[in-house]
Amino acid sequence: MDEYDIESHPDLQDPEWQRRALKKAREELRRRQRRTGRGRRLALTAVVLVVLAGGGFAFYHWGVATSDHYSGESTQPAPGRAGTTTAPAPSDLPHWGAVDRSHPFDHTPAQNWEQGLAGLAVPQATQVGTFSEKQVSEALTQVLHAIDLAFLDPEVLSAHHTDRYLADLAPSARDRLTPYLTGPDRSHAPAYVTLLADGYHLLPVLPRMNGTLTSRAGRPGELVVHASFVVAYAFDPGNRTISGPGDMEPFLRVEGDYTVRKIGDFTRNDSGLWPDGNDLYLTAAACRASDEGFLAPAFSEQRNVAVTSATPEPGEFDPNRPMPTQDTCH
């Protein structure tokens, strides 16, 4: 079995987990206004799990079974309203407007996106360079699992248990990144995982995602998987007064590569998954928290600057457009 083969992971062998995951992955949630986003370029990586089926993929959210922990409580996620609207989503995040906390992504760019990994389009596995179809499938599985852990897993997001993410990396990559993800200074952590700021919790609804993975040959013995996606989170404002979705729903635009290295072409320590220093652009996120390496909602900061109605950069919410470059954290 190759070093990066995770098909034997115990969760994948659990029929009950598979049943729950399949049910969640098949749910289609559909349902439209902006706050001037606080954008910020950062480096970032991600997480996801794919169960191989025939040469194609079925996507399951690794954290479905523990999604009630997103809010730090034992509340079950609110059911989705699959197929209730086909209305186009707004192209910007609204500053003003009521928010339904059980369906917080309504009236935002994410209203028609899928939950978690179901929002990622993954290519059919085919041979790429010296990587066989099976090896490409295994590599894509690894990358998806990493995206899931970095962006969706409650234990990483809220509890900051980054060891779960590090365990999936090549040993040498793990050694290199451990100081950034486990030390007291987490300012570089956003290059690899998303950590929620202490004291702020997500509503008991799964984050929404929209984007794609593609693969290509790298150097000899390398397969490069490119990720381009946006993930939206909905924070629980508690008893705070909010003016609209932009106060509580940061969007993260991610663009970057994940390299899988073959054992044989590389040493045992160097073979496996390597995050390649990806870019992250944040909209409607607290600037101070992001400087410290954490994600917090806009309502966590007192801002004395005027909110404008400037048109957002095209790639802010659309992973098919170039990554935004404007930095609105000053």
Confidence check: pLDDT of 241 > 70:
yes
Letter for the amino acid at 132?
S
Q: What number is the average pLDDT over the span 312-330? A: 83
Confidence check: pLDDT of 41 > 90:
no
Q: Percentage of the chain surpassing pLDDT 90?
A: 61
Q: How far, in whole angstroms, is CA 316 from its chain's centroid?
A: 15
Model confidence pLDDT, tens digit, residues 58-106? 333 333 333 333 434 333 333 334 334 568 888 889 888 999 999 999 9
- For residue 234, CA distances in Å to 23, 118, 203, 239 come to 22, 17, 6, 15
Confidence check: pLDDT of 158 > 70:
yes
Confidence check: pLDDT of 13 > 60:
no
Letter for the amino acid at 216?
R
Q: What number is the average pLDDT over the span 31-52? A: 32
- What residues have CB less than 8 Å from 49, skipping those under 6 apart? 11, 12, 59, 60, 61, 62, 117, 141, 144, 145, 148
Q: What number is the average pLDDT over the span 11-33? A: 42
Q: How far, in whole angstroms, is CA 287 from its chain's centroid?
A: 19
Is residue 170 within 8 Å of residue 262, measured between CB atoms?
no
Band of pLDDT at residue 311, cut at 50, 70 and 90? low
Confidence check: pLDDT of 23 > 90:
no
The DSSP code sequence of 70-82 is GGTSSPPPPPP-T
- What residues have CB less than 8 Å from 200, skipping those under 6 apart? 235, 236, 296, 297, 300
- What residues have CB less than 8 Å from 103, skipping those under 6 apart? 31, 78, 80, 81, 205
More confident residue, 34 or 146: 146
Average confidence score pLDDT of the chain: 78
- The residue ranges of DSSP E strands in the chain, in sequence order, are 41-44, 49-53, 56-60, 114-115, 120-121, 208-217, 222-232, 251-261, 272-275, 278-283
Is residue 317 within 8 Å of residue 324, measured between CB atoms?
no
Band of pLDDT at residue 303, cut at 50, 70 and 90? low
The DSSP code sequence of 48-106 is -EEEEEBTEEEEE-TTGGGGGGGGTSSPPPPPP-TTS--PPPPSS--SSS---TTSTTT
According to DSSP, the β-strands at 120-121 and 251-261 are unpaired
How far is the C-alpha of 149 from the C-alpha of 157, rounded, in Å?
8
Among 64-68, 93-97, 288-292, 300-304, name the one with the lowest average pLDDT.
Answer: 64-68
Q: What number is the average pLDDT over the span 276-294? A: 90
pLDDT at 330: 52
How far is the C-alpha of 19 from the C-alpha of 11, rounded, in Å?
11
Q: Say whether 46 sits in a helix, a strand or coil.
A: coil
Q: What number is the average pLDDT over the span 226-241? A: 96
The model's pTM is 0.75
Is residue 38 within 8 Å of residue 283, measured between CB atoms?
yes
How far is the C-alpha of 156 from the C-alpha of 146, rounded, in Å?
11
